[in-house]
Amino acid sequence: MTKELQALMGKMAEESARAAKELAKADGWRKNEFLRELARLLRDRAGHVLKANQRDVDAALASGLDAARVDRLRMTEATMESMAQACLEVMAQSDPVGEIETMWQRPNGLRIGRMRVPLGVVMMIYESRPNVTIEAAILTLKAGNAAILRGGSEAFHSNQALAELLSGALKAVGLPEAAIQLVPVMDREAVTHLLKMDNFIDVAIPRGGESLIRAVAEQATMPVLKHYKGVCHIYVDQGADLDKAVEIVFNSKVQRCGVCNALECLLVHEAEAAAFLPRMAERLGAAEVRFRACPASLPLIAGQAEAEPAEEGDWGREFLALVLAVRVVKDMDQALEHIARYGSNHTEAILTRDHDRAMRFLREADASLVLVNASTRFNDGGQLGLGAEIGISTSKLHAYGPMGVRELTGVKFVGLGQGQIRE
C-alpha cells in the first residue's frame, strides 16, 4: 500500500504544481466568479453537506471524542451561511497578485518595486473544523495558489461533501479542478509522503493541536507556517474600568472556550484585586468556570466559584476548557514578565484607562495581536477584516497573526529601466 499511496500523493502534488502555474496568471474576475459560484452551491447544497456532517458527528460521539472537538466538528445552517458569506467577502477584496506595493527611483533612473506574487502550492493539514476546507480553499485560490487539503479523519465525510462543491465551482468557471484537491484517504501515511514533496509543494500550514503542528514541523521538507498553541492573557491594570473588565474577561473565556483565542490566564494588578476578583469570579463561576489561583487571588475567588491553588504547570497551559488561571501581580512590569515567560505569541490584552501604559503594552507584549480594552476573541481573520483566515501564525516569518489573502502571497523585486547598465 505504501508505494501505491506514495505514487497517488506524488500524482496529486504534481497536478497541484501544474494548476498553480495556471492560477498564477488567472484573471481576477475568473477567481471572483469561482467564489460567487461556490457561495451559491454552499447555500443550494447545504442539506447535502449537513447530512454528511451529521454522519461524522454521530461517529465522533460514538467514539468518545472530547466535547471541544465535537463542537469544532459540528456544522449548522448558520455555519453554511457563514461560509457562503466568507466567499463573498473574499470576492470583494482586491486581488493582490501583480500589485506593485512600493516603488522608488535610483540615481541612474532605474525604478525598483516590490510585486505581490503567489506562493505556489499550499498544503493545509487541519483537524476537526470542516469550515477550514472552505476557508483554506477560497483564500489560497484568491491569492493565486493551488491547495492540497488534508482534514482530520473525524470530518472525512463532511470534507468530501465540501470538496464536491469546490470541484463543481472550479469546473463551472473554467479553472483547473486540480487547483483545490482534498486528500482522498484517511491513512496518515499520505501526509508523511506529501511533507517530503518540496519539489511540488511550496509551504505547509498545519492547523490544530500542538502535537499535530510539531509533527508537521518535524517531518516537512518545505517551509511550515505554524502556531503551537494559544496561551492568551488579559492584564487588568491599576485604575481599569472594572465594569468593562468583567464583561471583557467573561467574553474572552466563556463565549467559546475551546478555541485558540480564548483567555487562559488572567493577570490582575494588586491594587484592583480585592475589588475585581470576587465580582469576576461570581460572573464567570455562574457560567461554570473553574479557577486555578495564585495564593493572593485564591481567597478572593474561593467564596464565589470553584477554585484550587495554581501549580507551576497551570501557567502557560492551554486549557481549552472552562478553566482559568489567575495571578495577582504588583505592576505592569511583572505582568509583562509573566507574559514573556509563559505566553505563546498568540494574543495578549491590557484593560486600562492609562494611555501611556496602553501604548507601552502594545510595544512590549510580544504577540501576533495585542489589544487594549477588548476581548482576546477578536484575534480572528474575519473579525479583523480579512474576510476569512487560513490560520494564525505565531512565527514572524513569513507572516505574524491571522493569515488572509494578502498573507498568502510573497513579494519579488521588479526593475523598470530605460537601457541602464551597471558601471
Residue 40 banded pLDDT, cuts 50, 70, 90? very high
Same domain, 47 and 151: yes
Judge if 258 and 198 occupy the same domain: no
When pLDDT is cut at 50, 70 and 90, the band that residue 109 belongs to is very high
CATH number at residue 311: 3.40.309.10
pTM for the model: 0.85
Q: What is the pLDDT of residue 254?
A: 97
In the predicted structure, residue 68 carries a pLDDT above the cut 80: no
Same domain, 155 and 262: no
User: Can you give the pLDDT at residue 329?
Assistant: 98
Asked whether residue 223 is assigned to any structural domain, the reply reads yes
Q: Indicate the pLDDT class of residue 72, thresholds 50, 70 and 90.
A: confident
User: Does residue 64 fall inside a structural domain?
Assistant: yes
Residues 221, 267, single domain; the answer is no
Tell me the DSSP string of 3-52.
HHHHHHHHHHHHHHHHHHHHHHT--HHHHHHHHHHHHHHHHHTHHHHHHH
195 & 109 share domain:
yes
In the chain, % of residues over pLDDT 70: 100
- pLDDT of 211 > 90? The answer is no
Q: Which three cell numbers stand for residue 400?
A: 505574524
Residue 365 resides in a domain: yes
DSSP structure string for 257-280: TTSTTSEEEEEEEHHHHHHHHHHH
pLDDT in the model for residue 207: 87
Q: What is the pLDDT of residue 165?
A: 98
Average per-residue pLDDT for the chain: 95
Q: What is the pLDDT of residue 26?
A: 96
Q: What is the pLDDT of residues 130-147, one digit of tens each?
A: 999 999 999 999 999 999
Decide if pLDDT at 45 tops 70. Answer: yes
pLDDT confidence band for 395 (50 / 70 / 90) = confident
Per-residue confidence (pLDDT) for residue 157, from 0 to 100 = 97
Considering the domain boundaries, does residue 305 fall inside one? yes
Alpha carbon distance 380, 390 (integer Å)? 10
Residue 405: inside a domain, yes or no? no
Q: Is residue 290 part of a domain?
A: yes
Residue that finishes a domain, picked among 378, 395, 411: 378
Position 44 pLDDT exceeds 90: yes
**Crossing angle between the packed helical segments 28-44 and 46-63, to the nearest 10 degrees:** 70
Q: Check whether residue 219 and residue 348 sit in a common domain.
A: no
Helical segments of 295-378, H only: 298-301, 332-342, 355-364
Q: Where are the alpha helices (DSSP H) in 111-241?
A: 131-142, 156-173, 189-194, 210-219
Residue 390 has pLDDT above 90, yes or no: no
In this predicted structure, what is the pLDDT of residue 328?
98
Residues 187 and 254 in one domain: no
Q: What is the mean pLDDT of residues 329-347?
A: 97
More confident residue, 128 or 103: 103
181 and 272 housed in the same domain: no
Domain ranges, residue 351 = 232-378
| Tens of pLDDT, residues 243-280 | 999 999 999 999 999 889 999 999 999 999 999 999 99
Q: Are the C-beta atoms of 105 and 416 separated by less than 8 Å?
A: no
Beta carbons of 216 and 247 less than 8 angstroms apart: no
Quickly state the pLDDT bin for 394 (edges 50, 70, 90).
confident
Pairing outcome for strands 232-236 and 146-150: unpaired
My answer on whether 12 and 128 are in the same domain is yes
**Number of structural domains, the chain?**
2
| Amino acid, single-letter form, for residue 264 | E
pLDDT at 64: 94
**397: in domain:** no
Q: Which of 208, 228, 248 is the last residue of a domain?
A: 228
pLDDT recorded at residue 1: 58
Element (H, E) at 415: strand 409-416
What span, in angstroms and rounded, lies between the C-alpha atoms of 202 and 417? 31
Integer Cα distance of 11 and 197 in angstroms = 11
Q: Are residues 150 and 283 in the same domain?
A: no
User: What would the mean pLDDT of 182-202 be, rounded to a whole number?
Assistant: 95
CATH code of the domain containing 98: 3.40.605.10
Question: Last residue of some domain: 181, 213, 228?
Answer: 228
Does 362 lie in the same domain as 334? yes
- Both 295 and 307 in one domain: the answer is yes
Q: How confident is the model at residue 229 (pLDDT cuts 50, 70, 90)?
A: confident
Is 408 part of any domain?
no
